[in-house]
Amino acid sequence: MDLQTCNLFARYNQVANNEMNLLIGKLDNLQWNKDFGGYFKSIKEVCNHIYLADFHWLKRFSGLRAFDYIKDPLFDLTLSFGTTPLNEINDYLKQRKELDEKLLQFTKELRPDDFDMALSYSDSKGVRYTRNFGGLIYHAFNHQTHHRGMVSVYLDIMNISNDFSNVSSLV
């Protein structure tokens, strides 16, 4: 992991999320909440899970050293896994956009030596870990990609054409 790759991941995820959210913004409430029978049953549940994971990773990442992005009042919130903080589509769209800006800000604040550092953090169950910081960043971005795939499948099931991850123009 390096600065250029990390910034590319942040920009890719931002563009892919924006493209996905153009489709999500057209869903009605029934489609947003439709139970597809997956681990995360609805598009709303998947989107909330991605949002919560990104929110918590950004909070954990701030444990490495002082970052400016973490000073945003957004990070004063206490959000728990297993909750649905963004029930309405418009709330999700607004908050997702803001969080993607914070992810991009985070990558712009990184220094080359950060990637080889170790980060100690606790997961949502309080279990302590110490892991390579660069690897954790990679994991966080890969997590988004994985779950956007679930949204794509759910949209396919509803016969909503989608190709929001084809953003090769960034490379």
Domain residue extents for the chain: 3-170
Question: Would you say 34 and 47 are in contact if contact means Cβ atoms under 8 Å apart?
Answer: no
Query: What pLDDT was estimated at residue 166?
Result: 74
pLDDT of 167: 67
Topology classification of domain 3-170: Four Helix Bundle (Hemerythrin (Met), subunit A) (1.20.120)
Alpha-helix residue ranges (DSSP H) falling in 40-160: 43-61, 89-109, 133-157
Q: What pLDDT was estimated at residue 134?
A: 97
- Ranges of the chain whose pLDDT falls below 50: none
- Which pLDDT value is given to residue 82? 84
Residue 169's pLDDT is 64
Exposed/middle/buried for residue 50 (C-beta within 10 Å: 0-12, 13-18, 19+):
buried
* Cα separations in angstroms, 15 against 11, 31, 96, 165: 6, 23, 12, 8
pLDDT in tens, 124-145: 899 999 999 999 999 999 999 9
